[in-house]
Amino acid sequence: MVQRKSGHVTLLDVARACGYSVSTVSIVLSEAPLSQNVAEKTRTRIREMAKQLGYHPDAFARSLRRRRSQTIGVLAYDLSDPFCIPIVQGIQSGLKPVDYLPLLMDAQTERKLFDNYLKMILERRAEGVIVIASWVFEETNLMADIEKNKVPIVILGRDLTRRKISSLCIDNRTGGALAMRHLHSLGHRQIAFIRGPEELFDSEPRWAGVTAAASDAGIEIDPRMVFELPSLVDPKSGFENGQKLARQMLASGRSFTAVLAFDDLTALGVVRGLNEAGLRVPQDCSVIGFDDVLPANVATPGITTIHQPLKQMGLLAAQWVLQAIEAREEAKPAPVEFQRAAPELVVRGSTAALQTNQGKRKSQRA
């Protein structure tokens, strides 16, 4: 075999090897319309030679010439958060049928990395961008560049419609209310709460849902039983903070029969914290989470939680972005989409009906 300067086999190599021109080979291998006119014999000859040499078309050259990258940038705030994974899967499933490649990037909750990757997405000429935002997502001038270059974008986990950006997030209000109503229906009246961190988009509406449902049910929330997560840095810190806050709850000496946590990892932390103090979930205290991520499902008892249809949300985001690309193709204006996905209560083992002696026992221990 000829020693190539670049390690890769090119069209020219194949052409020389079987005595045709580059054009013919290209036409055959890319299955262009013109390839009907190419003699059957030639076609098979070229194909065989290509396979034998291990030829693979150069995506760079092809994209450059075709002016299409067949790529969607997918920027996740933190892949180590189990929350992101089903979304990514959903996106993948939306992209596969149309043969778009997701360019998956993990910002690891670092603002600088986030910017960096956004730049790369632009440089790699992604035809669209999906951002899994949740936290760590402020306006950057990169975002302006994305718009300047007319790259369709969809934000997952935040409402940015006021910026005219298609967005998709969970209906936090309803979700919060669902969680609250579930505890209420089990008979719980003395409930401790852990709110999300202030800078997180989800925190406020979710809390609003909780308080609304509480007042509907005639429960008054003791502000001394409302705790707030400090700003999170990574998924595991949610667990640790839940654990710490559970200790604080117990140390406060006030009695409670249930804990409504901001998300699943916090809930898992609470369970741990309660257990360390000898309290069992759900017998001594019920705990409810939010998100329905894998660890909540495989822990024992399973964490009762508010399910987010993450896969479907990812799929929808992918469809929106594809649809926006198509619109741009036809020089039509792409609509700004928005949807609040419907949350669902998933009852598992971490919540149970209030026992008559439960409140007392708790205050004794504390």
Closest distance between DNA and the C-beta of residue 96, in Å? 20
- The span from the CA of 211 to the CA of 202, in Å, is 15
Can residue 21 be called a binding residue for DNA (CB under 7 A)? yes
Restricting to residues 280-339, name those near DNA by CB under 7 A. none
Beta strand pairing call for 166-170 and 191-195: unpaired
- In the chain, the DSSP E strands lie at 71-76, 101-106, 128-132, 153-156, 166-170, 191-195, 226-228, 258-260, 286-288, 305-307, 338-341, 344-346
Instruction: Find the binder of a copy of itself among 94, 235, 282, 314 (CB under 8 A).
Output: 235
State which of residues 16, 38, 103, 221 lies at the interface with DNA (CB under 7 A): 38
Among 40, 123, 139, 330, binds a copy of itself (CB under 8 A): 123
Q: Which of 44, 48, 54, 64 binds DNA (CB under 7 A)?
A: 64
User: What does the H/E/C string look like for 86-140?
Assistant: HHHHHHHHHHHHHCCEEEEEECCCCHHHHHHHHHHHHHCCCCEEEEECCCCCCCC
Alpha-carbon gap, residue 188 to 293, rounded angstroms? 25
Only one of the segments 14-22, 210-218, 328-336, 339-347 lies at the binding site for DNA (rule: CB under 7 A); that segment is 14-22
Tokens of 249: 């709850």
Q: What is the DSSP letter of 163?
A: G
Residue 144 binds which one of DNA, a copy of itself, none, with CB within 5 to 8 A depending on kind? Answer: a copy of itself
The two structure tokens encoding residue 212: 């609304």
DSSP designation for 289: -
Stretch 66-105: interaction string toward DNA, x if CB under 7 A: xx--------------------------------------
Instruction: Return the sign of the alpha-carbon dihedral for residues 156, 80, 274, 280.
Output: positive
CA distance 266 to 251: 18
**Per-residue contact string for residues 34-53; x = within reach of a copy of itself by CB under 8 A:** -------------------x
User: Tokens 């117990």 belong to which residue?
Assistant: 250
Q: Using CB under 7 A, which of 1, 2, 39, 298 touches DNA?
A: 39
Cα torsion at 37, 38, 39, 44 (round to 10°)?
-140
Contact status, residue 217 vs residue 180, Cβ threshold 8 Å: yes
Binding to a copy of itself (CB under 8 A) within 134-153 occurs at 144-145, 148-151
Listed in sequence order, the residues at least 6 apart from 115 whose beta carbon sits closer than 8 Å to its beta carbon are: 140, 142
Q: At what angle do helices 264-276 and 235-251 cross, to 10 degrees?
A: 40
339 binds, among DNA, a copy of itself, none (CB under 5 to 8 A by kind): none
Per CB under 8 A, contacts with a copy of itself among 53-112 are: 53-54, 56-61, 63-64, 67, 69, 79-80, 82, 85-86, 88-89, 92, 96, 101, 103-106, 108
**Is the CB of 55 or the CB of 227 nearer to a copy of itself?**
55
Rounded CA separation 129/321 (Å): 7
Least distance from a copy of itself to the Cβ atom of residue 302, Å:
8
CA terminus-to-terminus distance, the chain: 79
Does position 32 interact with a copy of itself (CB under 8 A)? The reply is no
Which residues in this chain contact DNA in the complex, by CB under 7 A?
Answer: 6, 8-12, 19-24, 26-27, 29-30, 32, 34, 37-39, 42, 55, 57-58, 61-62, 64-67
Which residues in this chain contact a copy of itself in the complex, by CB under 8 A?
Answer: 6-9, 53-54, 56-61, 63-64, 67, 69, 79-80, 82, 85-86, 88-89, 92, 96, 101, 103-106, 108, 113, 119-120, 122-125, 144-145, 148-151, 235-236, 239, 265, 268-269, 271-272, 275, 281, 294-295, 297-302, 328
